[in-house]
C-alpha cells in the first residue's frame, strides 16, 4: 500500500534500464519504496541496475519484458502482480529512433511506433486492469513534449508520443473513481542514454529533476506533470503558433 504521503512501497518499472526510471526508483527508495521490479529486455545493464538499487536497501527483482511482444504482456505482468500488490507502475520504455534513417526505412519507423505506442497500449491496459483488480495504485506514463506538436526534425517519435499521451489521458479518465490513478509525465529534453550525443535543447533537464517531479505528482495525485514546469506554458504557445511560422522555428 502507498504510505500516508501517497508514495509507493512497491514499484514496477517497465523499461528497467531507463535513466529516468532509475533516477525515479532511487528517489522513491530513499523515501519509502521497499520492493522494485525492473522489467526489461534481459541484459547486463538490467542486472547491474538491479544490483545498484539493492545497495540502497530495496528488494529488487528483474523480469524479462519486451514492448515489441504484446502477446507476452499479460503473462509477464501477471507474474509480478501475483507476487503481491504493486503500488505504482512506471511505464518508461521507449526509443527515439533515427528520424532521417526512419523516413527512408518504413519498417524502422514502424518499430518506433510499435515500441512507443502499441507496446504501451498493450502494457498500459494490462497494468491498468491489474491495478484495478487490486483496487489501488498509480500508473505513471512517460510521455514527452514531443507529442504536443509534431516537429519536422522528429515527427515519427513525436507522433508515437502523441498517441501514447492521448491513450494515457483517456485511460486516466476511464479509471477515474476506481482508486487507480494515471499520471502523464511530459518531460522536455532530458540528458540520458536516449539523448546521448544530441545537441542539447533549450530548457534541458536531468533524470533527477524528472524523478523529483514524479514524486511530487504522486504525492498530489496529479494527472499531468511537465518537466520543467515552464514547458506547460511554452507548449501552450507552440501549439497555437501558425503552421507557416512553426515550420521556420529552429526546434
Ligand atoms: N530523454 C529524454 O529527453 C526524454 C524526454 C521525454 C520523454 N522521454 C521518455 O522517457 C522514457 C525513458 O527514456 P530515457 O530518457 O530514460 O531513455 P533510456 O535511458 O534510453 O531508456 C529507454 C528504455 O526503454 C527500453 N526499451 C526500448 N525498447 C524496448 C523494448 N522493445 N522493450 C522493452 N524495453 C525497451 C530500454 O531498454 P534496453 O536497455 O533494453 O534498451 C530502456 O530501458 C521514454 O519513454 C522516453 O521516450 C525521454
pLDDT score for 4: 66
Residue 101: exposure state from Cβ atoms within 10 A (0-12, 13-18, ≥19) = exposed
pLDDT score for 162: 98
Distance CA 171, CA 128 (A): 8
pLDDT score for 251: 78
Span from the CA of 163 to the centroid of ligand 1 (angstroms): 16
What is the model's pTM? 0.97
The ligand 1 atom nearest the CA atom of 46:
39
Q: pLDDT tens string for the chain (251 positions)?
A: 777 668 999 999 999 999 999 999 999 999 989 999 999 999 999 999 999 999 999 999 999 999 999 999 999 999 999 999 999 999 999 999 999 999 999 999 999 999 999 999 999 999 999 999 999 999 999 999 999 999 999 999 999 999 999 999 999 999 999 999 999 999 999 999 999 999 988 899 999 999 999 999 999 999 999 999 999 999 999 999 999 999 998 87
C-beta 47 within 6 A of ligand 1: no
pLDDT score for 3: 76
C-beta 92 within 6 A of ligand 1: yes
State the sign of the Cα–Cα–Cα–Cα dihedral 193, 195, 196, 202. Answer: negative
What order of strands is seen across the sheet that includes strand 88-91? 59-64, 35-40, 10-14, 88-91, 137-142, 180-187, 224-227
C-beta 36 within 6 A of ligand 1: no
Span from the CA of 95 to the centroid of ligand 1 (angstroms): 5
pLDDT score for 80: 98
DSSP secondary-structure letter at 95?
-
Which residues participate in catalysis according to the annotation? 157
Span from the CA of 245 to the centroid of ligand 1 (angstroms): 31
Q: Which domains does the chain have, with CATH numbers?
A: 10-248 (3.40.50.720)
The ligand 1 atom nearest the CA atom of 66:
32
Q: Which of 112, 192, 206 to mutate to test the pocket of ligand 1 (most atoms within 8 A of CB)?
A: 192
Amino acid at each position: 500500500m502507498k504510505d500516508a504521503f501517497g508514495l509507493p512501497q512497491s514499484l514496477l518499472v517497465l523499461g528497467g534500464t531507463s535513466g529516468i526510471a532509475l533516477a525515479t526508483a532511487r528517489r522513491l527508495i530513499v523515501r519509502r519504496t521497499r520492493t522494485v521490479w525492473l522489467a526489461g529486455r534481459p541484459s547486463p545493464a538490467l542486472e547491474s541496475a538491479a544490483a545498484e538499487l539493492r545497495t540502497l536497501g530495496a528488494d529488487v527483482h528483474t523480469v524479462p519484458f519486451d514492448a515489441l511482444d504484446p502477446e507476452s504482456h499479460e503473462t509477464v505482468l501477471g507474474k509480478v502482480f501475483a507476487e503481491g500488490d504493486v503500488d505504482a507502475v512506471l511505464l518508461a520504455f521507449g526509443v527515439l529512433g533515427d528520424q532521417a534513417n526512419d523516413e527512408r526505412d518504413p519498417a524502422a519507423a514502424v518499430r518506433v511506433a510499435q515500441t512507443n505506442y502499441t507496446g504501451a497500449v498493450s502494457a498500459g491496459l494490462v497494468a491498468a486492469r491489474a491495478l484495478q483488480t487490486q483496487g489501488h495504485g498509480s500508473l505513471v506514463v512517460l510521455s514527452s513534449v514531443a507529442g504536443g506538436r509534431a516537429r519536422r526534425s522528429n515527427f515519427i517519435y513525436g507522433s508515437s508520443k502523441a498517441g501514447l499521451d492521448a491513450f494515457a489521458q483517456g485511460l486516466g479518465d476511464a479509471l477515474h473513481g476506481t482508486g487507480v490513478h494515471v499520471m502523464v509525465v511530459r518531460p522536455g529534453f532530458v540528458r540520458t542514454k536516449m539523448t546521448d550525443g544530441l545537441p542539447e535543447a533549450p530548457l534541458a533537464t536531468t533524470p533527477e529533476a524528472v524523478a523529483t517531479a514524479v514524486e511530487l505528482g504522486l504525492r498530489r495525485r496529479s494527472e499531468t506533470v511537465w518537466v520543467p514546469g515552464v514547458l506547460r506554458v511554452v507548449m501552450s504557445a507552440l501549439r497555437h503558433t501558425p503552421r507557416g511560422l512553426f515550420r521556420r522555428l529552429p526546434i
